[in-house]
A and B are shown apart, each in its own frame.
Chain A
Amino acid sequence: MYNALIGSLEAGLIFSIMALGVYLTFRILDFPDLTVDGSFTTGGAVAAAMITSGLSPLLSTVTAIVIGCLAGVFTGILHTKGKINALLAGILTAIALYSINLRIMGKANIPLLNQETILSQMNALSQSLFSTESFAILIGIGVLVLLAKLFIDWFLRTEIGLCIRATGNNPRMIRSFSVNTDNMIILGLAISNGFVALGGALWAQYQGFADISMGIGTIIVALASVIIGEVLFGSRSIAVATLAAIGGAIVYRIVVAIALRVGLNPSDMKLMTASIVILALIAPKLIAIIRKKRKKKYRSVISNVNSKMEAK
């Protein structure tokens, strides 16, 4: 049980990096970017291919981020210059990436067992400093996630960051203030997919292999994390919202672990995740409708009482 909890925390933290990326597009840019299903795998593929060919894990991971950014740029150009619908632009890139990812990996699966990875380096560092490996990965990834969160919090407060936020919020207004919204969308997608690719690179190193299908459903898992986070922790400010995305990713992982424990099949997880997202998207509207109906009922009761009183 204890190990399962630590495992959920570690997995949740890695996925939270990708959730932060999706938060940037989905919430800040108001751009439903489906590129991530491809760029998550790309991150894992690049890192695994480079690590197995003997390159340093750090360099491999950084390269994965850069390639992820390029994927985002491609989707951004399709949408802004090619005038392709946002959803379609993302799907097109994701489909194209499937072939590219296979090219990068050379085969459908690259095992990373017995390879030096960022995570094994974290363990080794912890061993040499504190002569223990326990919590090394948890703390190491935790620090990375914290840095990622602080980066986004900082970036969205810079002059360019403000323009990206306004692009998602009121594009007409921000154009009248001399901002090229196309460039802001491309930049936002690049950063977002960089984060997603970093998540993929770390996930491949964590689970010990990169797989061509590891990215399927990434967008839904990330969305679930962002939405769960918003419901549980709120979204008053950017700093709260990024924290919420991280919290949401961790909670999501714990929910998955519990669902598996009570006997749900691992293959049912995607159905469960989709259900969570659907519920979270529909619930606010349903609640609003129910409230309205109740108010109507209440009003008709009152007017009934009033008319009866008048009759008397």
Chain B
Amino acid sequence: MTPMLKLSMIHKSFNQGTVDERVALNNIQLQLAEGDFVTVIGSNGAGKSTLMNIISGVLQPDEGTIEIDGRVTNRMPEYDRGRLIGRVFQDPMAGTSPAMTIEENMAIAYGRDKQRTVRIGVNRKRREMFKETLETLHLGLENRLSAKVGLLSGGERQALSLVMATFTKPKVLLLDEHTAALDPSREQIITKLTKEIVERDKLTTLMITHNMQQALDLGNRLIMMDSGTIILDVPQEKKQNLTIQGLINEFSRIRGANFVSDRTVLA
């Protein structure tokens, strides 16, 4: 079976040829089978976000190929890859359009994998469909379809972002610390929603998280990155028995150093 996402020999460095040259990704090899839900942890500057940006087309790799569902996407511009990839950003303001209403935002998400035309974006049929989808969130957003998204709270906006990113069941879902900016109770809600949606739609997912417990609780596989390489790849069987302390010990064993990150939540 062809993997849904396949990265081969990805190399990326910034400020190449200057004294500030910094290798962000070094020979990354990663394959996600269809339905894989992989959590990614790593210290600051490990290259997690660069990895996401390379996959989504925001950045171009210096070397290596990116394949999505068997198609090499290196030359596909970011917006074109948007047909295949759903993304939720860390900033709750980033995934939605604040000046537009909830239903208009949903209509944009609905059009992701379709040819957009001069048909009206929100018609009665679609409104019903948006309503049904939003009901599954249990946040009452289905009753506020014509409210501007800018009026929603950070947690509500992130929930909406998640629904929008997954609405057309993308081939790959990229979650870039999408709960990091939320307070603990909202974080819990979004984490639960993420689990529900990804499992329901069997989405092939790559999730960066700063929260080790979240990384252990979610998904069927965990990878740890450091200095631009994947240093640990834990399959489901082993992941089930892994603890935070176990992860930290693994890191020290591999790198011979202590796991440092000012943002990682250990508890």
Residues of B within 8 A of A160 (CB): 116-118
Residues of B within 8 A of A102 (CB): none
In the bound assembly, the distance between CA atoms of A175 and B108 in angstroms comes to 11
Residues of B within 8 A of A181 (CB): 79
Does A253 lie at the interface of the complex (its beta carbon under 8 Å from any beta carbon of B)?
no
Give the number of chain B interface residues (Cβ < 8 Å): 35
Residue from the list B95, B98, B117 in contact with A159, Cβ < 8 A: B117
Report whether A173 and B96 are in contact in the complex, using a CB–CB cutoff of 8 Å: yes
CB distance from A152 to the nearest CB of B (A): 13
Residues of B within 8 A of A166 (CB): 97, 100, 108
Residues of chain A in range 159-205 having any CB-CB distance to chain B below 8 Å = 159-163, 165-166, 169-170, 172-181
Does B48 lie at the interface of the complex (its beta carbon under 8 Å from any beta carbon of A)?
no
- Interface size class for chain A? 20 to 34
Residues of A within 8 A of B80 (CB): 178, 180
CB distance from A230 to the nearest CB of B (A): 14
Report whether B104 and A162 are in contact in the complex, using a CB–CB cutoff of 8 Å: yes
Report whether B116 and A174 are in contact in the complex, using a CB–CB cutoff of 8 Å: no
CB distance from B245 to the nearest CB of A (A): 37
Does A158 lie at the interface of the complex (its beta carbon under 8 Å from any beta carbon of B)?
yes
Chain B 65-91 per-residue mask, 1 if CB under 8 angstroms from chain A, else 0: 000000000000111111101110100
Report whether A158 and B97 are in contact in the complex, using a CB–CB cutoff of 8 Å: no
Report whether B118 and A158 are in contact in the complex, using a CB–CB cutoff of 8 Å: yes
A-B contact pairs, 11 of them (CB 8 A): A155-B118, A159-B120, A160-B116, A161-B118, A162-B111, A166-B97, A170-B98, A175-B82, A176-B87, A178-B112, A179-B116
Does A107 lie at the interface of the complex (its beta carbon under 8 Å from any beta carbon of B)?
no
Residue from the list B77, B85, B100, B119 in contact with A165, Cβ < 8 A: B100
Residue from the list A154, A155, A159, A174 in contact with B97, Cβ < 8 A: A174
Report whether A163 and B108 are in contact in the complex, using a CB–CB cutoff of 8 Å: yes
Report whether B107 and A159 are in contact in the complex, using a CB–CB cutoff of 8 Å: yes
Report whether B121 and A179 are in contact in the complex, using a CB–CB cutoff of 8 Å: no
Residues of B within 8 A of A157 (CB): 120-122
Residues of B within 8 A of A179 (CB): 79, 82, 108, 116
CB distance from B195 to the nearest CB of A (A): 22
- Minimal Cβ-Cβ distance residue in A for B105: A166
Report whether B100 and A178 are in contact in the complex, using a CB–CB cutoff of 8 Å: no
Question: Given that A159-B121, A177-B82 are known contacts, is A165 also in contact with B99, CB under 8 Å in the complex?
Answer: yes
Report whether B83 and A178 are in contact in the complex, using a CB–CB cutoff of 8 Å: yes
Residues of A within 8 A of B206 (CB): none
Question: Given that A173-B95, A178-B113 are known contacts, is A159 also in contact with B82, CB under 8 Å in the complex?
Answer: no
Instruction: Give the most central of A158, A163, A170: most B CB within 10 Å.
Output: A170
Residues of B within 8 A of A161 (CB): 118, 121
In the bound assembly, the distance between CA atoms of A160 and B118 in angstroms comes to 6
Report whether A176 and B116 are in contact in the complex, using a CB–CB cutoff of 8 Å: no
